[in-house]
C-alpha cells in the first residue's frame, strides 16, 4: 500500500526550528547593515529559539491529539520524490513507535532552550555558556532539534541518514565551543565515535539498497532499488540473500547497523564517549543528549533492524540481551564509584538504557512496550537529573559529590526535587520509571529467566548509589562553605516542575503513552515472536 501525502504537519514540526536557524543567520549577516547591538542580537536569537522550539512543541501536541492509536499504519504522511536519480524520496510519517519520540523531542528541546536562558544568573557571571556567542548557540540548538525531529519522522533510509548526520555537527560545536575545560577532547571523541558509527550505517544502507527488489516511487515511476524503509521491510526478504564477505548477508548488514546504533545507545563497550561528552557539555546540551540523542540508537534498531532484518535480529537476540544486562549491572557498579555528580548521572543513563535492550530482545509485547516506554521515561527523568546537576554547578562551580554536605537545610526545595527525580530514576513504584523498568523485566523474564534475575540486581545497586549520593550531598551537617546558596529560581522551577509532574502522573496513569504505542509495537514484534515460537 503506497502512502500518499495526507498532511504536512510533520514537515512543519521538523523545519520550524530550521526557520529559526535561517532567521538567526540572516540577522547575523545583516548585523552591520541594521546596526544591531550584540545585546539586542543575543536577545533576539534567544526569543527566536524560544518561539521556534515552542511552536514545534505545540505542533507536537496537535500531532498527539490527531493521532489515531488504533491505526498501526503510518499517519501524517508527507511523501514526495526527492532525488529521482537515486530513488531517494522525501518521506515523513509517524506511527506508534515514533510518535512518543517526536513528542519527547519537542518537549525536551523546549526545556533545553529555556534552560539556556541566563534568567536568574548573577550579572557578574559573564563566562556562563548562556552568555557566550548566543546567536550561534541558539542556531546550533535549533539545528540539532531539526536533525533529531527529522530522524524520528523520516521513513526513507537516505533521508534518515541525512538527518542523522545533521545532528552530529551542532552537537560537536555545542560541546566543543560552549563546553567545560576538556571540551575539545570530549567533542572530538564524540564526533569520531559517532562518525565511525555513521560510516557503518552508510555501508549497511547501501548494501540494503542494492539488495532490494525493484518497486515504484511514490509518483509511480519504476525504480530498481529503494531506500523506502516501509518497502524495505514489507517487499523484501533479505533472509534469503546470499553471502557478503563470507558471512550471510543479513547477519553482516545487521551487525554493521547494530554497532552504528549501539554507539548511540550507548551500549557497552561503546559507551565511553558518553561520560566525557556529558561532563563537558553545558547543562541544556546534556539535557538534549540524555533526553533525546540516546534514544536514537534504540529507535534505529526498532525502526530498521527489527522490521527489515528480522531473521538476523532473532539470531542475535541472546547477544542483545546479554549486552543489555551488562549495561544495567556493570554501569550501575561504575556509578557507585563516581565522584563527579554529572558523570554518575551519565553512567546511570548507560545503566537505564540497558533495560531497553533487554526488553526489546525478548520479543514479548511487555518487553517491547517496556523498551519504548523506558526510552520515554528516561527521556523525562534524565533531563531532570542533568538540570539538577546544572543548578548546583551554577551555584557552587563544581560537582564533586564529596564536596557538599547538609544541603537539605540550605536548599529544601531543591533537595525535594532531587529526591523525587532520584526516586523516579531508581524505579520507585508510583513514579514513571518503575512502570517501564517493570515492563521490560516482566517482558524479558519468560525468555531470559536468569539474565533477568541478574538485571534485577541492578535495581538494588541503583538504589544504593542514588541514596549514597543523597546522603553525601544533602544530609549530615551543612558544609559552611555553602551556607548562602540560594534555592531554586523561577527559570529552574519552570524547567523542573513540568518534568516532575510528568514523572508522577505517568507513574499512576501511564496508559496515555502506552496506548499510543502498544498496537504498533505488537505488530512490529509479532513476526519475531512467531519465529522464536512465543
Partner 1 sequence: MGENTFPLWLIPFLPLVGAFINGAFGYRLQRRFGEPVISAIGVSLPWISFILAAIGFVKLQGLPEGQAVISQLWTWVEVGEFKVDMAFAMDPLSAMMALAVTFVGSLIHIYSIGYMHKDDGYWRFFCYMNLFMFAMLTLVLADNLLLMFVGWEGVGLCSYLLIGFWYKDLNNAKAGMKAFVVNRIGDFGFLIGFFILFWSLGGEWSEAGYRTTGAFSLHFGSLPAMIDSMATKTLWGVPAPTLVGIFFFIGAAGKSAQIPLYIWLPDAMAGPTPVSALIHAATMVTAGVYMVARMNFLYVLTPTAMTVVALVGAVTALFAATIGCFQYDIKKVLAYSTVSQLGFMFIGVGVGAYWAGTYHLLTHAFFKACLFLCAGSVILAMHHEQDMRKMGGLGKPMPLTRWTYWIACVAIAGFPVASGFFSKDEILWQAFNTDALLIPGWIPWLLGFVAAGLTSFYMWRSYFMTFTGKTPEVHGHEPEEQRPAVTGVLVILAIGAILASFLGLPHLWMHIPSAIQQFLSPVFGAAANLKTAGYGHGTEWLLMIASVGVATLGLGIAWWLYRGRTSTIPERVLKTFPRIHKVVYNKYYVDEAYQATAIRGFLGLSRLSAWFDFKIVDGMVNGAGTITRAFAWIDGAIDTYIVDGIVNLVAQTVKAIGARLRRTQTGRLPTYLAGLVIGVIVLIVLTRFLSDVYG
Q: Scan residues 364-383 and list those touching partner 1 (CB under 8 A).
A: 364-366, 369-370
Q: Taking CB under 8 A as the rule, which mask of x and - marks residues 248-287 in contact with partner 1?
A: --------------------xx-xxx--------------
Residue 269: is the preceding peptide bond cis (ω within 30°)? yes
* For helices 9-34 and 38-66, angle between their N-to-C axes, nearest 10 degrees: 170
- Say whether residue 459 binds partner 1 (CB under 8 A): yes
C-alpha span between 456 and 329 (Å, rounded): 9
Q: What is the size of the binding site for partner 1 (CB under 8 A)?
A: 81
Q: Scan residues 145-164 and list those touching partner 1 (CB under 8 A).
A: none
C-alpha span between 56 and 103 (Å, rounded): 9
Of 108 and 326, CB closest to partner 1 = 326
Q: Scan residues 201-230 and list those touching partner 1 (CB under 8 A).
A: none
Taking CB under 8 A as the criterion, the residue among 189, 295, 317, 342 binding partner 1 is 189
Contact 290, 388 (CB under 8 A): no
Q: Scan residues 422-451 and list those touching partner 1 (CB under 8 A).
A: 423, 428-430, 435, 438-439, 441-443, 445-447, 449-450
Cα angle 12-15-20, degrees, rounded to a multiple of 5: 120
Q: Scan residues 467-496 and list those touching partner 1 (CB under 8 A).
A: 467-468, 470-471, 474-478
Minimum Å gap between C-beta 58 and partner 1 is: 27
Read off φ and ψ for residue 463, nearest 5 degrees: -60, -40
Q: Taking CB under 8 A as the rule, which mask of x and - marks residues 21-60 in contact with partner 1?
A: x---x--xx-------------------------------
Three-state DSSP at 75 gives: strand
- Say whether residue 360 binds partner 1 (CB under 8 A): no
- Say whether residue 136 binds partner 1 (CB under 8 A): yes
Binding segment toward partner 1, per CB under 8 A, in 282-290, 298-306, 327-335, 490-498:
327-335
Binding segment toward partner 1, per CB under 8 A, in 65-73, 129-137, 240-248, 377-385:
129-137
C-alpha span between 4 and 89 (Å, rounded): 12
Of 241 and 416, CB closest to partner 1 = 416
Helix (H) or strand (E) holding 207: helix 183-211
C-alpha span between 172 and 289 (Å, rounded): 11
Who's near 24: CB < 8 A, 6+ residues apart? Answer: 45, 48, 135, 138, 139, 142
- Say whether residue 518 binds partner 1 (CB under 8 A): yes
Binding segment toward partner 1, per CB under 8 A, in 107-115, 288-296, 315-323, 459-467:
459-467
Number of H helices, E strands in the chain: 22, 6
Who's near 91: CB < 8 A, 6+ residues apart? Answer: 3, 77, 78, 79, 80, 154, 155, 156, 159, 218, 228, 229
Taking CB under 8 A as the criterion, the residue among 334, 357, 381, 451 binding partner 1 is 334
Of 284 and 370, CB closest to partner 1 = 370
Minimum Å gap between C-beta 281 and partner 1 is: 17
Read off φ and ψ for residue 57, nearest 5 degrees: -65, -45
Closest CA to 155 of 204, 105, 208, 90: 90
- Say whether residue 409 binds partner 1 (CB under 8 A): yes
Of 75 and 338, CB closest to partner 1 = 338
Amino acid at each position: 500500500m503506497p502512502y500518499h501525502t495526507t498532511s504536512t504537519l510533520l514537515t512543519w514540526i521538523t523545519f520550524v526550528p530550521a526557520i529559526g536557524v535561517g532567521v538567526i543567520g540572516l540577522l547575523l549577516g545583516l548585523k552591520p547593515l541594521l546596526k544591531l547591538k550584540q545585546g539586542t542580537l543575543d536577545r533576539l536569537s534567544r526569543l527566536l529559539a524560544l518561539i521556534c522550539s515552542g511552536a514545534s512543541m505545540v505542533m507536537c501536541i496537535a500531532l498527539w491529539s490527531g493521532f489515531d492509536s488504533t491505526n498501526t499504519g503510518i499517519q501524517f504522511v508527507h511523501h514526495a520524490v526527492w532525488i529521482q536519480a537515486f530513488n531517494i524520496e522525501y518521506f515523513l510519517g509517524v506511527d506508534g513507535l515514533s510518535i512518543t519520540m517526536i513528542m519527547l523531542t519537542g518537549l525536551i528541546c523546549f526545556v533545553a532552550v529555556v534552560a539556556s536562558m541566563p534568567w536568574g544568573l548573577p550579572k557578574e557571571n559573564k563566562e556562563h555558556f548562556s552568555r557566550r556567542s548566543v546567536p550561534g548557540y541558539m542556531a546550533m540548538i535549533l539545528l540539532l532539534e531539526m536533525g533529531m525531529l527529522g530522524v524520528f519522522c523520516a521513513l526513507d533510509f537516505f533521508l534518515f541518514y541525512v538527518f542523522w548526520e545533521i545532528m552530529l555537527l551542532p552537537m560537536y560545536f555545542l560541546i566543543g565551543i560552549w563546553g567545560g575545560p576538556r571540551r575539545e577532547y570530549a567533542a572530538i571523541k564524540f564526533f569520531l565515535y559517532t562518525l565511525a558509527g555513521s560510516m557503518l550505517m552508510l555501508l549497511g544502507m547501501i548494501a540494503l539498497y542494492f539488495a532490494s527488489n525493484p518497486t515504484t516511487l511514490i509518483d509511480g515511476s519504476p525504480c530498481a532499488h529503494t531506500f523506502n524503509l516501509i518497502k524495505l521491510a514489507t517487499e523484501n526478504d533479505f533472509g534469503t540473500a546470499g553471502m557478503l564477505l563470507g558471512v550471510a548477508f543479513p547477519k553482516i548488514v545487521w551487525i554493521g547497523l547494530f554497532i552504528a546504533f549501539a554507539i548511540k545507545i550507548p551500549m557497552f563497550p561503546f559507551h565511553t564517549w558518553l561520560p566525557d561528552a556529558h561532563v563537558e557539555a553545558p547543562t541544556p546540551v546534556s539535557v538534549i543528549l540524555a533526553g533525546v540523542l540516546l534514544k536514537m540508537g534504540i529507535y534505529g534498531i526498532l525502526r530498521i533492524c527489527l522490521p527489515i532484518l528480522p531473521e538476523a535480529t532473532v539470531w542475535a537476540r541472546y547477544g542483545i540481551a546479554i549486552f543489555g544486562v551488562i549495561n544495567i549491572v556493570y554501569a550501575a557498579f561504575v556509578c557507585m564509584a563516581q565522584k563527579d555528580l554529572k558523570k554518575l548521572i551519565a553512567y546511570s543513563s548507560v545503566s537505564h538504557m540497558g533495560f531497553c535492550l533487554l526488553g526489546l530482545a525478548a520479543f514479548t509485547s511487555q518487553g517491547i512496550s517496556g523498551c519504548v516506554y523506558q526510552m520515554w521515561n528516561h527521556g523525562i527523568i534524565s533531563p531532570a537529573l542533568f538540570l539538577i546537576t546544572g543548578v548546583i554547578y551554577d551555584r557552587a562551580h563544581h560537582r564533586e559529590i564529596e564536596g557538599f554536605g547538609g544541603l537539605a537545610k540550605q536548599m529544601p526545595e531543591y533537595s525535594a526535587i532531587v529526591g523525587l527525580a532520584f526516586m523516579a530514576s531508581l524505579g520507585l513504584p508510583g513514579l514513571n520509571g518503575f512502570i517501564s523498568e517493570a515492563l521490560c523485566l516482566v517482558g524479558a523474564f519468560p525468555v531470559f529467566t536468569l539474565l533477568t534475575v541478574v538485571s534485577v540486581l541492578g535495581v538494588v545497586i541503583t538504589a544504593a548509589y542514588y541514596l549514597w549520593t543523597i546522603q553525601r550531598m544533602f544530609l549530615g551537617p551543612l558544609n559552611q562553605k555553602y551556607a548562602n546558596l540560594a534555592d531554586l529560581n523561577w527559570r529552574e522551577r519552570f524547567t523542573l516542575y513540568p518534568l516532575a509532574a510528568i514523572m508522577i502522573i505517568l507513574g499512576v496513569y501511564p496508559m496515555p503513552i502506552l496506548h499510543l504505542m502498544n498496537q504498533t509495537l505488537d505488530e512490529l514484534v509479532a513476526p519475531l515472536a512467531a519465529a522464536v515460537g512465543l
